[in-house]
């Protein structure tokens, strides 16, 4: 009984491994036939490629073009040098001749300076002011004192006339300027140009 079981197990094992044994007997491994030249070429090609890669250097980076900027800077520097080289024109020397200088004007004031010329001017102004009180100012009872300044040019010609200090009334100020212009016809001559300041008073006589 035991022997029959052994035979059955052996038969079953042989049945299982029989296909594997058959495959091992019939299998023939395929050989890869490489010619000597092909294998040599393959090895040389790999070697040459690696050598070229190692010997090949990276291309140098292009340098920025600065020729135009350099030329422009050189031109600017040249212009600056030219400007420095150009000499500034020397100012013309002003003539210091006394004859060409402005004449000195004397200043006189009636009531302050004791001068024969001023006395004559005061007399001429007082005569010219007689009966010249503005009618409108009389009607309005306007009074005041206008300080008039004028220039006597060349010793015999009336120059500018202006009010140095107002009387407080436009009518009286305008009349004072007219009085000076009328009185200038009787002003005496003087040695040089002179500026005269004279007060003209306006007052109403009350009885």
Residue 64's pLDDT is 53
19 or 139: whose pLDDT is higher?
139
b/e for 59-69, b at 16 or more Cβ within 10 A?
eeeeeeeeeee
Residue 154's pLDDT is 81
> 102, 192 in Cβ contact below 8 A?
no
Q: What is the pLDDT of residues 99-131, one digit of tens each?
A: 455 567 889 998 888 889 999 999 999 999 998
Structure tokens at 94: 């002003």
**In this model, does residue 23 exceed pLDDT 50?**
yes
Q: Which residue has the tokens 């040695």?
A: 191
CA atoms of 165 and 169, how far apart (whole Å): 11
Residue 106's pLDDT is 86
CATH number of the domain located at residue range(s) 106-202 in this protein: 3.30.1150.10
Q: Where are the domains of the chain?
A: 106-202
The single-letter DSSP state of residue 186 is G
**In this model, does residue 85 exceed pLDDT 50?**
yes
Q: Kind of pairing, strands 106-109 and 194-202?
A: parallel
Most confident option among 5-19, 76-90, 95-109, 178-192: 178-192
Average pLDDT, the chain: 75
Q: What is the pLDDT of residues 167-184, one digit of tens each?
A: 999 999 999 999 999 999
């Amino acid at each position: 009984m035991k022997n029959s079981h052994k035979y059955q197990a052996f038969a079953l094992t042989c049945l299982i491994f029989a296909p594997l044994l058959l495959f091992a007997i019939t299998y023939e491994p395929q050989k890869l036939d490489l010619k000597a030249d092909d294998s040599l070429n393959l090895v040389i090609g790999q070697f040459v490629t690696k050598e070229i890669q190692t010997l090949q250097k990276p291309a140098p980076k292009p340098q920025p073009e600065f020729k135009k900027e350099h030329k422009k800077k050189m031109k600017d520097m040249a212009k600056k040098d030219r400007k420095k080289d150009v000499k500034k024109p020397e100012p013309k020397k002003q003539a210091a001749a006394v004859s060409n200088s402005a004449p000195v004007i004397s200043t006189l004031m009636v009531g302050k300076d004791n001068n024969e010329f001023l006395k004559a001017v005061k007399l001429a102004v007082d005569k010219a002011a007689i009966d010249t009180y503005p009618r409108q100012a009389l009607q309005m009872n306007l009074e005041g004192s206008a300080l008039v300044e004028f220039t006597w040019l060349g010793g015999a010609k009336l120059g500018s006339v202006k009010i140095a200090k107002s009387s407080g009334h436009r009518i009286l100020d305008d009349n004072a300027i007219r009085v000076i212009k009328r009185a200038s016809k009787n002003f005496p001559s003087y040695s040089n140009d002179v500026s005269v300041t004279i007060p003209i008073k306006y007052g109403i006589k009350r009885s």
